[in-house]
Amino acid sequence: MRRKQGILLQIEMSILEVCQSRSLGGSPECHGFLIATLIKSTQEAKLLTAYGTLYRALSRLEKAGFLTSRWEDISSLGESRPRRRLYRITEAGSKALAESLSEVQEEAVSRIMQLPERGVA
Amino acid sequence: MIRLAAAIVRLWVRLYTIGLEATVRGRIRKEIEADLWEQLSGSNASGRPPKEAAAILLRCILGIPSDIQRMTEEPVSPTMQSLAKGMRWAALTIVVCEIIFFFLLGLAAFGFGAGVDGIVAWVTLLVAAASCIISKRHLEVAGVLLVSTYFGLVTSEIMMLGLTYAFWPWSVLGSPLPVSGSPLLLAGIMFLFSRWFSRKPSSSELFPFPA
């Protein structure tokens, strides 16, 4: 199925929203598991986003220039755990998110406006 | 139980990233390993292992369609590309050997005289061979050769034997391995393998966002 040009998928919007809210909160970088956890809590979902869905979307957003990423430097932390890949939203990402959200809102409004014409009023 | 679920996830990630370029492969594996670690350490704290194990498995299973799509978006490793090239040649060799085999089978059974059908078949073969040389479209002409050998030189009994040998997995070779007994099926699988690993990444098509 081909995507509509210029519109983000739901999962991509959720990721960008999480990254943006973290950025506004003063900690701009977040890792995959944290993103999945935050999406789960904001959407009140029962499950965390699937590995494949989450990391494919992250990779796609990075390729599009909406996110940047780096491996964290764990040596300075002195912890014995796998390194996290840290993501940060870019300006282009914020802009794309704002555009997509307004597009979604416009679409929802136009659907509501069409309801009486279809005889659903 | 949680350890088993994590092991299944690791195994799946290893499997689907096996043909990808080393940097991409390493990144995917490390990212999911870090994610698993976070989830496992969280589950140890929560004290509900069976539920967490199920959640880990579900996360893996629900992501499989995306994993498979990602395989087509990321670049393939050079090793796999060369292996795919080798597979393509091996598949082609099997098909050519099959054609020669059926040709010889027909000759051994009926020599050069198989009535009107035989003459028609010989003419078809000659035309096919000539067009093979002129057009250099080897695969298509190989197909014509195979069909004409079946329907012209070979009688129905030999044809059935040949079809059984060529396509039926548990064929005349009586191989314990279902596929290896069927050369054309094997060639088909090898050809599909080579096509899959000699593809180009398709991520630009999947993300048509205006610049």
User: pLDDT, tens digit, for every residue of A42-53?
Assistant: 888 888 899 999
- A26 pLDDT more than 60: yes
Query: pTM (2 decimals)?
Result: 0.69
Dihedral of the CA atoms B201, B207, B209, B211 (nearest 10)?
-20
Contacts for B18-23 with beta carbons within 8 Å, 24 or more apart? B19/B71, B19/B76, B19/B77, B19/B80, B19/B197, B20/B71, B20/B74, B20/B75, B20/B76, B20/B77, B21/B74, B21/B75, B21/B76, B21/B77, B21/B78, B22/B77
CA distance B205 to chain A (A): 8
Residue A15 clears pLDDT 60, i.e. is over it: yes
Asked whether the CA dihedral B80, B82, B88, B90 is positive or negative, the reply is: negative
Positions of chain B with pLDDT lower than 70, given as ranges: 43-48, 102-125, 128-129, 133, 135-183, 201-211
The ipTM (two decimal places) reads 0.82
Integer Cα distance of B45 and A119 in angstroms:
54
Q: Minimal Cα–Cα distance from A88 to chain B, Å?
A: 15
The whole-angstrom distance between residue B156's C-alpha and the CA centroid of its chain comes to 31
pLDDT digits (tens, 9 = 90+) for B81-93: 888 888 888 888 8
A2, A56, A82 member nearest B66 (Cβ): A56
CA distance B194 to chain A (A): 24
Q: What is the pLDDT of residue B167?
A: 61
Taking contacts as CB-CB distances below 8 angstroms, the residues of chain B near A48 are 39, 55, 59
Query: CA-CA distance, A28 to A35, in Å (whole number)?
Result: 12
Distance, in Å, from the CA atom of B7 to the CA atom of B13, rounded to the nearest integer, reads: 10
- CA A56, A59, A64, A67 dihedral sign is positive
